[in-house]
Amino acid sequence: MNASMTLTYQALQEIFVDSGAVSQEQFNTLQATKEAKELGLERVLVSRGFLSEKEVGQLMSFWYRVPFVELSKKDIRPQDVVLLPEAFARAHHVLVISQQPERVIVASSTPKDTVLRSSLEKYFRTEVQFQYATEHDLRQHFFLYQEDPDIRIQSILKRSPVPQEQTDTRVIDLIDAIIDMGYQRGVSDIHLEPEEAYLVIRYRQDGLLHDVARIPEAFHERIMARLKVLSRLATDEHRKAQDGKISHKTPWGSDVEIRLSILPTTQKEKAVMRLLSEQAQAYSLVELGLQTGDYQKIADAMEKPWGMILATGPTGCGKTTTLYAMLQVLNRREVNITTIEDPVEVDLEGINQIQVDEKTGLTFAKGLRSIVRQDPDIIMVGEIRDSETASIAINAAMTGHLVLSTLHTNDAATAFVRLLDMGIEPFLLSSTVNVVVAQRLVRKVCMNCIESVTFNGTQKKLLEKTPQIQPLLLRLAQKATVRGLRVFHGKGCKVCHGSGYKGRIGVFETLVVTDEIREAVMTKKHADEIEQIAIREGMDSMLTDGLRKALLGQTTLEEVLRVVYEEVL
């Protein structure tokens, strides 16, 4: 249960209005939203950009009269965390952060819960001291319970099979363990890749793949068969690609929806599982990394009753997550929102979501034609892939609908060229598109082991490969030379598995369609010219946004260059 949902209207008013954090009018408006009723008022205050997560935490802790704790800044020992069973910690949103001779210190989003206090003191047989942590922060730190996947998997493999049982329970336990540990780590995808002598288990975390364990080749066929059974696929089919879904419940009571893809390779069948759970809950635009200026541009576009907002970038850059964050803000009872997606990645209550199904002929274009006849106010099209979908979406945006969609282009300005190539008339395009957001995802510096360092030889070599970046970096840092310039990195610790990175954040460029840009689109100017106009009118490029985040310690210079200038490095 969300912390603010356990508090009365009067208590929340004291916390946020009497303190001057928000006005009474803002409070009443936000408190009445569907989002506040489902997620809690404090999440809405963060998602709408009124307050930061830290500011909400400080206000709540002051009202509760307990210390406020940011878990990322605490050195929490694994031996302290495991004092409390993980299932209990997740169910009650608590985390042991320190054990002392005379007391146990616990982070909680409900520090005045007397039943919880009594249960913990009986369990620990000592005094329990509460500190306030936001529920979001607590969820982000349950990974501290995780165990080494290779050790867990090898312990299962060492067990002897039970002779009387027809099914080898080791295979069942292996798959459960692989999924559970992936969920614990917050991975997006799990790869099971066949090699000649073994099956490699790889986790995609923060955008990069990591080998975590090897399973003997003898288990390969049984593991694939088990996955097919779980997803109701044909177990005797080994030569065709198959796609399915698995519903998995973790030992901690969390439901995880899994998209399974099985593909025959030159070795044997390979499986990839994409994990979709409440951990992939829709983030706010602020949490995704939008700066205040860019957030306001998008907020202004979302207030318009018609027109189009486009999110662009390559596969896996977070475009759909950005659209989901917008839908969170737009989702009100007085509007009808319908989406068509391939596939539906997160179920959003109160929104009509349609999944593309090529087998039944339900394509983006056909689905979109039907949606327009369903009296929608807001339409989200998962991706504009072809001319027909583009034409219907543009016409819907012209005829009184707010349309959100994604497009595969490298930057914001190229979106216009791409749509022109799809046959959209320039006058239609210039009059319907309101904002184009281009984005990439960069890894965040681990807050547990972050340190500031002077610009060194490695970073200077990076700038030598990309000489056009140095003037921009120096301008943002307000320095004349790189001498003495300080940047950030993570030393590597248990929290980030030695990588120095934990989590990801977006780098954005937000192009608002102004009169001058409309004129450029109408005259079919090149993308570079449109980009220069946008920059002249105040748009920050993705590179500028990334470098600014590197100087603030949110990411590293190396990471920005890897993602934005990957072809150079």
Ordered mean pLDDT values, 10 residues apiece, the chain (569 residues): 71 91 89 77 79 90 94 84 90 92 93 93 94 88 81 87 69 93 88 94 91 93 95 92 91 85 92 76 76 91 95 91 90 90 81 87 90 93 93 93 95 95 94 96 88 78 77 86 83 82 92 96 95 95 93 91 66
- Residue 65's pLDDT is 94
Q: 329 pairs with which residues across the strands? A: none
Question: How far, CA to CA in Å, does 64 sit from each of 4, 68, 111, 138, 168?
Answer: 12, 10, 7, 17, 52
- Inter-residue contact 205 to 187 (CB < 8 Å): yes
The torsion region of residue 396 among left (phi > 0), alpha (psi -120 to 50) and beta comes to: alpha
> How many angstroms separate the CA atoms of 316 and 330, rounded?
24
Domains of the chain: 3-141 (3.30.300.160), 146-279 (3.30.450.90), 285-564 (3.40.50.300)
> How many angstroms separate the CA atoms of 508 and 411, rounded?
9
C-alpha 564: how far from chain center: 19
Q: 166-173 — which CB contacts under 8 Å span 24+ positions? A: 168/222, 170/219, 171/219, 171/222, 171/223, 171/226, 172/226
- Inter-residue contact 356 to 364 (CB < 8 Å): yes
- Which amino acid is present at 433? V
Q: 258 pairs with which residues across the strands? A: 246, 275
Q: Which residues of 446-471 are buried (b: 16+ CB within 10 A; e: fewer)?
A: bbbbbeeeebeeebeebbeeeeebee
Q: 213 pairs with which residues across the strands? A: 201
The torsion region of residue 166 among left (phi > 0), alpha (psi -120 to 50) and beta comes to: alpha
Show the CA angle centred on residue 346, arms to residues 290 and 262, nearest 5°. 115
208 phi and psi angles, rounded to 5 deg: -115, 145
- Residue 1's pLDDT is 53
C-alpha 306: how far from chain center: 27
- Inter-residue contact 423 to 391 (CB < 8 Å): yes
- Residue 569's pLDDT is 42
pTM: 0.78
